[in-house]
Amino acid sequence: MLIVCAAALALNAGAQSKTTAKSKSVTTSAPAKKSVTAAPAKKTTAVAPAKKSAPAKKSAPAAVKSGYRDYNRISLSYAPMFMTGSTLHGVQAGYTHGIHLSSKHPMYIEVGGNLQFNRKSETFMDYDPVTDDLVEDETSFTLLRLNVPVAFTWRFALGSKKAFKISPLTGINFGVNLLAKQDGASIFDYEDPDYKANRFQFGLIEGVNFTYKRFNAGVAYVIDLMPIEKDDFWGAKTNTGTLTVSVGYEF
């Protein structure tokens, strides 16, 4: 009987021990659950850094904003050439390209080319030894020239809309005399050791242009620093200068 009672007590103690262990196990595992629900990873995800905003679009260059852009111009000019002792009427047709130098100031370099044609024909009285009398004679001079001007200009814009511009210019001019004939004979073919004709000439240019929207008018003067011809025997030389009064269109 005592043995049976002891066995029953032992079984009862074992059951209580298991229940206590299980209870402790469940109790100790509870914080793990709490840890999962309050995981730091979720908290970090909730406060993820904001997306970077797209970079702002670059503003247009100041040269475009202010209208300081390159331009092209075609022009037609009345271009009389003043030679020593005479004037040759003529015309000129040309092309100019303006290159802007600054985004803050309307400074430009103009380069281009133009073809110039001048001619003079006049009559005079000359002595004829055959008839021993004065007879009417004629003399002429014809010139075809290619000019390559390079000039600095500043375009002052006027008015609220800045549609009107005044552009003074200064620069240099390279001239190539493609054709130069005196009384039908080329001056470059004269066989005289004392006489020299210059096919290439170099000069200075000064002028001003007036522009309204795309329409242009201008006046300029080119003075050649080299004579077109000279005669060392007589100590004579022919200097030249050209006045141009032009109208044009810009694009």
Q: DSSP letters along 171-237, please?
A: EEEEEEEEEEEETTEEGGG---TTEEE-SEEEEEEEEEEEEETTEEEEEEEEEESS-SEEETTTTEE
pTM, rounded to two decimals: 0.69
Residue 49 has what pLDDT?
55
What are the tokens at 50?
């904001």
62-250 topology per CATH: Porin (2.40.160)
**For the chain, which residues score pLDDT lower than 50?**
1-42, 44-47, 60-65
Predicted confidence at residue 125, as pLDDT, reads 75
Write the single-letter amino acid at 58.
K
